[in-house]
Each structure stands twice: as structure tokens, then as C-alpha cells.
Amino acid sequence: MTDAPDPASASADPGPDLGPDPTLLIVDDDEAFLRRLGRAMEKRGFDVALAGSVAEGRDLAMRRPPAYAVVDLRLEDGNGLDVVEALRQSRPDGRVVVLTGYGAIATAVAAVKIGATDYLAKPADAEEVMRALLAREGELPPPPENPMSADRVRWEHIQRVYEMCDRNVSETARRLGMHRRTLQRILAKRSPR
């Protein structure tokens, strides 16, 4: 079998400038989402590597440090921030976007403090991810079309206190004046819109 050029790609727009190193690591434990985003980013010119766990992500980050990375925050075997730290150690100039279905300001702040360049809440499409990865330094995102709901503001406050208490559920519940089990149920749910 010969490697003939794909006619569709030959006439396609060259796309944005990814720089001299278009390597991209995507870490997510949702296999369907991982493969779908991987294919979409390959079509946009990235050289994609996929990982389904913290362990795989850290291993790839150390063996083949990518120029770009998209890392899910909550993975089955741990926290995606561990992968972000490994990426920062192996490639300090890399651009990392943290992507999660459990979006909260507190975790966004934690991600940025350890070196993430942006933070997106799921569901995010390939275009949003691409914009975040290629955004210029200091470029501000557009303001949200819809402000946060009261439920979302409450969720953000709980997440902030939870992070301040180093993710200690008992201490967070005490500070918020709520039952520990109630807090655990709230933390297990996805963030409200």
C-alpha cells in the first residue's frame, strides 16, 4: 500500500499556524470523547497522542513532551492537575488547556496556578479547544453571553471553599454549615449551568 496524498487534504485550507512543533497530547477517560477530539484535532493539523489516564498522560508527557495539551481534570485514576504538573516539568513552554465537566472557578484558579494556559468546561468543541490552545499571551476571552445562574454562583462558592480546605470534605462542610453527606452529594454532581 502506497502513501498517496489525500485529495481532500491537498485542497484544504492550510489552517492556523501551529508553529514548528504541532504535537498535542489529549488526556481524558471518556474514550468516545477522547477519540472524537483526537480526530478533530488531527484534521486541524496537530500530531496527536491520546491517553486515557493520569498514569498514561504523565508517561507520555515525560517521554514525548508535547507543545500543546488538553487535559481532563477528573480522571478515573486521579487528578488531571498531576498531568499538568508533569507537562510543566518536561516542557515549560507548552500550552495546556484543562477541560472538565466539573467546571468551577476554584479549580480553574488551581489549574492556572500550576501552569495551565486556559480552562474550558465540557462540552467544549474542537474549535473552542483550538482557540484556547492558540490564544496569544494576555489575550482575554470574550465575555459570557449569559451570566451565571444563582445555582451556579452557589456551586462556585462551595468549590472555592472546598479548594481552600485542601479538598477536605469534613472541614468544608463545617465551614459552610452543612451536613457532610449533603456536601458529598453536591460535589459528586456536575456543575449547574
DSSP state of 24: E
pLDDT tens-place string over residues 145-166: 555 677 877 887 888 788 888 8
pLDDT tens-place string over residues 105-116: 677 777 788 888
- The CATH number covering residue 125 comes to 3.40.50.2300
Count of the separate structural domains present in the chain: 2
- Same domain for 60 and 113, yes or no, is yes
- Same domain for 123 and 183, yes or no, is no
Global pTM value:
0.66
Give pLDDT, residue 177: 94
Which residues is 98 bridged to in the sheet?
71, 119
What is the rounded CA–CA span in Å between residue 36 and residue 27? 12
- The CATH number covering residue 183 comes to 1.10.10.60
Q: Give the structural domain span for 82.
A: 15-134
C-alpha distances (whole Å) from 164 to each of 75, 101, 147, 172, 175 are: 21, 20, 24, 8, 10
- Same domain for 66 and 21, yes or no, is yes
- Same domain for 23 and 56, yes or no, is yes
Burial of 108 (0-12, 13-18, 19+ CB in 10 A): buried
